[in-house]
Structure 1
């Protein structure tokens, strides 16, 4: 796990560039000359892409207003957006056909979630002491997304074919998905805590 300011900054810059590029490609209307598809921001993939990009950018700029401090004491936001990004990888690969034929799809459904996971596992130190309640707080992201999904689906039809507002299956499927999300969030929290144990053991050994 690296905590070198220079390496951390370079890594966060890479993550920010990848995430912002993926988000923009998802809005570009299909290529040069295409209109900007702002409505695509209603998709969970785009939401998570923006969150990852903004968090990585904020972490990159943090030393400018925090007197050189490379990251906050606790990685609550960093872990939450990384875990939510991983949700896009899992759902896309299992329920949405896993079509990686476009650059946007490759970046936001594969590359960014994996880079964000690597960031959580191997970069920085603030993932090592998160309180037990943090994974439950991370559920705020998918819960806050639900009204956006209902609004967007009311305008253009269901954004995802497996989640149909108004259908009797909607609530049970949404509840099962939230339970799965919580399980993933708990795994991310546990990995962060495990890193803390390993760091302390290395410090004692040295």
Structure 2
């Protein structure tokens, strides 16, 4: 069971993510096809669960953290995105920052991150990528599968970013001692 401050913190993270999704949905008709909105929705749902109970394994928090780092770091350069609108600021800066802070400062099971977790944390963004290409979603101009060389290069950069983040979290966890 989580302490009251941890539960409240995680509910704040969930509320921020959910607010970003709601504001984006009001702005865009196809909000549900963008990784930013889907990732924030996942954070909102999962952090409500994490507010109630933190599982023994840090896998979920690690997967959400790497996903939100991807959302936060890829948005501005790949979308020429702006952060002036509330939904964009919440989804691309505030929520990713809060999720990273949760992993680094709040979680108690960092020591349980396994060497193979960062590899499995690639599953959610890979599933999105398969849906993106297979469904010809064309949400991101910078990820146009019709230009395979540029598409492949950008995917390679994003993959490197995700793996570096994941193994950074692994190293961080390996240096921590168990807390209860």
Q: TM-score, normalised by structure 2?
A: 0.89
Q: How many residue pairs align between the two structures?
A: 179
Please name the residue that 1:8 is paired with. 6
Cα distance change of structure 1 residues 146 and 4 upon mapping to structure 2, 3 Å threshold:
closer
Aligned equivalent of 2:161, options 180, 189, 203: 180
Please name the residue that 1:19 is paired with. 17
Please name the residue that 1:81 is paired with. 64
Q: TM-score, normalised by structure 1?
A: 0.79
Q: Would the aligned equivalents of 1:127 and 1:193 in 2 still touch at CA under 8 Å?
A: yes
Aligned equivalent of 1:52, options 43, 58, 83: 43
Larger Rg: 1
TM-fit CA distance, 1:176 = 3.1
Deviation larger for 81-90 or 162-171? 162-171
Aligned equivalent of 2:142, options 139, 162, 184: 162
**Counterparts of 2:25 and 2:131 in 1: how far apart (Å)?**
17
Please name the residue that 1:192 is paired with. 173
Q: Structure 1 unaligned runs (5+)?
A: 31-35, 62-69, 201-206
RMSD: 2.1
SS in 2 for 1:128: helix
